[in-house]
Amino acid sequence: MGLALDEARAALATGDVPVGAVVLDAHGAVIGRGRNEREASGDPTAHAEVLALREAARARGEWRLEGCTLVVTLEPCVMCAGAIVAARVPRLVLGAWDPKVGATGSAWDLVRDPRQNHFVEVRPGVRRAECERLLTDFFTARR
């Protein structure tokens, strides 16, 4: 989670919401990194999770990320939850819940929906207070 938090902090430099993600392979090596880059790139799909998954797929040379773990500072949205399922990521570690638009256990639970073709284990609350504080400070400064 420390590496994901480093990515989240780096997003602050471009005015993006500070969310960071890393993908670890089965041995714990980082094979993908991402931070929110919607403001920096003008791309509505440039969420931390999607960028980390893309980099991991390039590193592995395939779209299936079986055996990997995605670590992210904020609960993924619907788009990102769909990408996690599509990539066949078996484990998700998250910091802060997103009760408004989270799609991995709070507002929705797309990654564990029995209608999906893939099930994701979710481990929430890792360094939760630190992840929440980073987001709270960002949005407080914007108001």
Q: What is the DSSP string of 69-115?
A: EEEEEE---HHHHHHHHHTT--EEEEEE--TTT--BSSS-BGGG-TT
For this structure, is 39 an active site residue? no
- Catalytic-role residue among 49, 75, 121, 132: 49
Q: Known binder of ligand: residue 47?
A: yes
Distance CA 46, CA 55 (A): 12
- Going by the annotation, the residues of the binding site are 47, 77, 80
Which residues define the annotated binding site for Zn(2+)?
47, 77, 80
Could you give the residue numbers annotated as active site? 49
